[in-house]
């Protein structure tokens, strides 16, 4: 494994997004197996682990923080532990045709959240604490002020924002410097490349979640793929039979590039972003040891700037389906 800087924080080039071990991908993973998987990740040199207070199971809405905290306890001083605050779910809103995500970044809510996360994680500090979604009711400067206080108190060491715009970034950073922005990013979701100039200007890292577009870019799914109840992919537009047909050229490109590099499609999807910018740190999720090993191997694949530019040019001309979380023009 090799390492890179996001802001002034050093992380493994490939991280591990832990959400799917507990949340949104059907039946939660077996806890013993998931703890063993996290330990295996540490043994591979992975140091960057991502969770959130709302990643839970039907039985425990905060299950993932407990799982990740317990698994990383033996390695606490060797890893970067990231979690998030600022949202909760109100499923009754679905009946009104609204998003169930409710933002709440009031200072008193943040303080309750950080203390609860510290307890669940079994630690006395959080390495990287994200505002999970921007709360339009609370000024960015007010949230940043609370982050500054939490850093001074030793409860967190760095902070970031997820799904942030340039305005959000600039306003927050002016009060308390950001270490990272965590946004959806993949070959199918490139809108946030527009943020790269401001991130470079302010020395802020870019943590990429869903780097495989929820798995499509691994090539492991086709028009016949089905998902169990509770797996959010069942309702994602990129997994429909029509979408699979529409994305055939994209998946063909990945297969072609993988053959050239002696790699897999998923490894190319990760290597492409790693080689695009030195401050991009993807956090693919998995429950499988074989996939964990494969993802880690992407850090060793070298693409020249010319190769990355050529891939970008191909991506601009290839038809793609809609993808969850992204609005296409």
Q: Say whether 130 is catalytic.
A: no
CA–CA distance, 213 with 282 (Å, rounded to integer): 12
Counting Cα atoms < 13 Å in the Cβ hemisphere of 77 gives 0
CA distances from 107 to 9, 104, 154, 329 (A): 25, 9, 17, 36
Biggest CA–CA distance in the chain, Å, is 53
Which residue in the block uniquely carries the two structure tokens 């009946």?
Answer: 95
Which stretches of 90-153 are DSSP H helices?
Answer: 107-121, 140-153
Q: Which residues pair with 61 in a beta bridge?
A: none
E strand map for 122-250: 126-131, 156-162, 180-184, 205-209
Backbone angles phi, psi at 157, to 5 degrees: -110, -30
CA dihedral (63, 160, 139, 121) positive or negative:
positive
The SS3 assignment for 187 reads: coil
CA–CA distance, 99 with 90 (Å, rounded to integer): 8
Structure tokens at 329: 């023009």
Backbone angles phi, psi at 162, to 5 degrees: -105, 140
Q: Which distant-in-sequence residues (6+ apart) come within 8 Å of 308 by Cβ?
A: 272, 275, 276
Catalytic residue among 25, 55, 130, 192: 55
Return the axis-axis angle of helices 31-43 and 63-72, rounded to nearest 10°. Answer: 50
CA distances from 289 to 126, 230, 234, 238, 318 (A): 26, 23, 24, 25, 32
Catalytic positions: 55
């Amino acid at each position: 494994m090799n390492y890179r800087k996001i802001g002034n924080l050093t992380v493994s080039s490939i991280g591990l997004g832990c959400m799917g071990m507990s949340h949104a991908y059907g039946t939660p993973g077996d806890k013993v197996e998931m703890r063993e998987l996290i330990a295996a990740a540490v043994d591979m040199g992975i140091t960057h682990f991502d969770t959130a207070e709302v990643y839970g199971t039907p039985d425990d809405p905060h299950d993932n923080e407990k799982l990740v905290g317990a698994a990383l306890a033996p390695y606490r001083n060797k890893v970067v532990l990231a979690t998030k605050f600022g949202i909760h779910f109100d499923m009754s809103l679905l009946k009104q045709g609204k998003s169930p995500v409710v933002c709440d970044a009031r200072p008193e809510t943040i303080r309750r959240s950080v203390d609860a996360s510290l307890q669940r994680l079994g630690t006395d500090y959080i390495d990287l604490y994200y505002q999970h979604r921007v709360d339009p009711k609370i000024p960015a400067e007010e949230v940043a002020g609370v982050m500054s206080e939490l850093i001074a108190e030793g409860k967190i060491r760095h902070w970031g924002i997820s799904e942030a715009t340039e305005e959000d970034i600039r306003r927050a950073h002016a009060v308390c410097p950001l270490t990272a922005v965590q946004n959806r990013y993949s070959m199918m979701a490139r809108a946030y490349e527009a943020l790269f100039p401001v991130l470079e200007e302010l020395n802020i890292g870019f943590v990429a979640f869903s780097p495989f577009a929820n798995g499509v870019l691994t090539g492991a799914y086709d028009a016949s793929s089905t998902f169990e109840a509770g797996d959010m992919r069942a309702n994602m537009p990129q997994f429909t039979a029509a979408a699979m047909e529409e994305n055939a050229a994209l998946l063909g490109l990945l297969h072609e590039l993988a053959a050239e590099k002696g790699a897999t499609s998923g490894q190319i999807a990760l290597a492409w972003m790693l080689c695009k910018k030195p401050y991009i740190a993807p956090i693919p999720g998995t429950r499988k040891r074989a996939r964990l090993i494969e993802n880690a191997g992407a850090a060793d694949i070298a693409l020249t700037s010319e190769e990355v530019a050529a891939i970008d040019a191909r991506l601009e001309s290839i038809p793609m389906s809609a993808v969850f979380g992204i609005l296409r023009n």
